[in-house]
């Protein structure tokens, strides 16, 4: 499974909106600043999330974006599938099942890929924004509102971001 930079930004923006759930709409500029995201790219991501009915926009002086549903009703799998597509390394689970049934010589390999896909999908399908906001293990919440410096590595899923420059040669 690959999570693109766009997918990572979408997850970070959704986490920020979850932290401010029921506090009114948040301006794109404020989301971009707090999460250290490029504002123009964030606009496109939020439009995609709006079209998928995960967020809604509010016009006017107090306008911005807010979650359309409670953080406990938005699963990480929804966000990732919307932005990055299927969770499997080879398209989708059905494609893997077809390979398993047709390619006897490599069946065991495809079964491993399917098991990895199923395990990742299960975790992502059962983890909501509220779950990660309430997580104590990784200090997910950013209550200090400290802005990251340019070039500072992201603390969210850096090991699975495709093309991450901070990955080592042994990865």
Question: What's the rounded Cα separation, in Å, for the pair 46 and 53?
Answer: 10
CA atoms within 13 A on the CB side of 154: 22
pLDDT of residue 136: 59
36-85 residue pLDDT tens = 999 999 999 999 999 999 999 999 888 899 999 999 999 999 999 999 98
Q: Is it the case that residue 164 has pLDDT exceeding 70?
A: no
> Which pLDDT band, with edges at 50, 70 and 90, does 5 fall under?
very high
CA atoms within 13 A on the CB side of 153: 11
DSSP 63: -
Q: Is it the case that residue 145 has pLDDT exceeding 70?
A: no
Question: What's the rounded Cα separation, in Å, for the pair 35 and 171?
Answer: 26
Please state at what angle helix 28-35 crosses helix 5-19, rounded to 10 degrees. Answer: 110
- In the chain, beta strands by DSSP E: 55-58, 64-67
87-111 residue pLDDT tens = 765 566 788 888 889 988 988 988 8
Q: 116 with 81: CB under 8 angstroms?
A: no
User: What would the mean pLDDT of 146-170 be, rounded to a whole number?
Assistant: 44
Q: Is it the case that residue 115 has pLDDT exceeding 80?
A: yes
Beta-bridge partners for 64: 58
For residue 73 the two structure tokens come to: 């009703």
- Percentage of the chain lying above the pLDDT 70 cut: 75
Q: Is it the case that residue 166 has pLDDT exceeding 50?
A: no
Question: What's the rounded Cα separation, in Å, for the pair 33 and 142?
Answer: 13
Distance of CA 16 to the CA centre of its chain: 12
Question: What's the rounded Cα separation, in Å, for the pair 140 and 151?
Answer: 20
Least confident residue range of 88-102, 120-134, 154-168: 154-168
DSSP 10: H
Q: 120 with 84: CB under 8 angstroms?
A: no
pLDDT of residue 90: 58
Distance of CA 26 to the CA centre of its chain: 19
């Amino acid at each position: 499974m690959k999570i693109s930079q766009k997918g990572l930004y979408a997850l970070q923006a959704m986490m920020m909106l979850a932290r401010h759930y029921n506090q009114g709409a948040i301006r794109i500029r404020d989301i971009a600043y707090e999460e250290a995201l490029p504002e123009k790219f964030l606009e496109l991501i939020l439009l995609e999330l709006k079209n998928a009915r995960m967020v809604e926009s509010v016009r006017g002086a107090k306008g911005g974006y807010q979650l359309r549903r409670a953080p406990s009703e938005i699963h990480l799998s929804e966000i990732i599938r919307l932005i990055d597509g299927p969770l499997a390394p080879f398209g989708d689970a059905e494609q893997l099942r077809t390979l398993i049934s047709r390619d006897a010589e490599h069946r065991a390999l495809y079964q491993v890929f399917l098991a990895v896909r199923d395990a990742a999908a299960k975790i992502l399908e059962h983890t909501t924004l509220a779950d990660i906001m309430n997580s104590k293990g990784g200090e997910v919440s950013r209550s200090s509102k400290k802005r990251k410096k340019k070039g500072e590595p992201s603390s969210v899923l850096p090991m699975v971001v495709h093309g991450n420059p901070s990955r080592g040669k042994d990865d």
